[in-house]
Amino acid sequence: MTTIAELPPGFADKVLSAQSTFRSVMDAMARPGSVQRIVPMADAPETMMRGTAAIALTLFDHDTPLWLDARMSESSDMVKWLKFHTGAPIVRDSSVASFALISDGALLPALERFALGTSEYPDRSTTVIVQVESLDTGHSFELRGPGIDGVATLQAAIKPADLFERLRVNEALFPRGIDVVLVADDAVVAIPRTTRVVNKGSK
């Protein structure tokens, strides 16, 4: 059993590292499909990528109920690390979560099980952070929507393979919906609910 002292540390400089990480995530959200890099690194327990760890340290706290996929919630080191560094309450009910961490796309539940917000408060929705294999090689996708000058293209190897098809629910739900942040090591791509993605096949 790991004690607190043996947990991987958080940011070396939590103020400036959080700022830099946030700007990468903000730029990713403002320009869907663009690949942003997260520079400051924190050591993370297994099953968590460096980028995911930095985002967790930047955005999670006691105000953000957090839902973990089965693989993450089974790792006691992971749960301890998150609780110690962020204080975020870990919840079993995904429909009340501010954030969801998906270490393995195969474990992504139906998107309707997350908080979708209400028509009056569409911001009260879950931001789903999905760890993926690659954000520079793989299938080719075309993205359109606010934040994109015409069309953006994204090369990515993503599980579940039908993630973007599933995200089409956002079209009918808007302004309610699910915002997704994809992480591959230190690379981040955001797919807010306004983005429409078309699969252009493998390259």
Partner 1 sequence: MNAPAYNFAYLDEQTKRMIRRAILKAIAIPGYQVPFASREMPMPYGWGTGGVQVTAAILGPQDVLKVIDQGSDDTTNAISIRKFFAKTAGVATTTATDEATVIQTRHRIPETALHENQVLVYQVPIPEPLRFLEPRETETRRMHALAEYGLMHVKLYEDIARFGHIATAYAYPVKVNARYVMDPSPTPKFDNPKMDNCPALQLFGAGREKRIYAIPPYTQVVSLDFEDHPFEPYRFNAPCALCGAENSYLDEIVTDDKGGRMFVCSDTDYCEGRQAAGHHGSLSAAPYKERAQGGSHG
Using CB under 8 A as the criterion, which residues of the chain lie in contact with partner 1 when the complex forms?
14-16, 18-20, 22-23, 25-26, 29-31, 58-61, 63-64, 98, 118-123, 125, 127, 146-150, 174-175, 177, 179, 192-194
Give the CA radius of gyration of the chain.
Answer: 16
Smallest gap from residue 71 Cβ to partner 1 (A): 25
> DSSP character for 15?
H
- Between 152 and 187, whose beta carbon lies closer to partner 1? 152
Between 75 and 193, whose beta carbon lies closer to partner 1? 193
Between 66 and 75, name the residue whose CB sits nearer to partner 1.
Answer: 66
Beta strand 36-37 with 66-68 is unpaired
**Do residues 60 and 99 touch, judged by C-beta distance below 8 A?**
yes
Residue with smaller CB distance to partner 1, 47 or 176: 176
**DSSP, res 8:** P
Q: Which residues contact 93 (CB under 8 A, 6 or more apart)?
A: 67
Min CB(84)–partner 1 separation in Å? 16
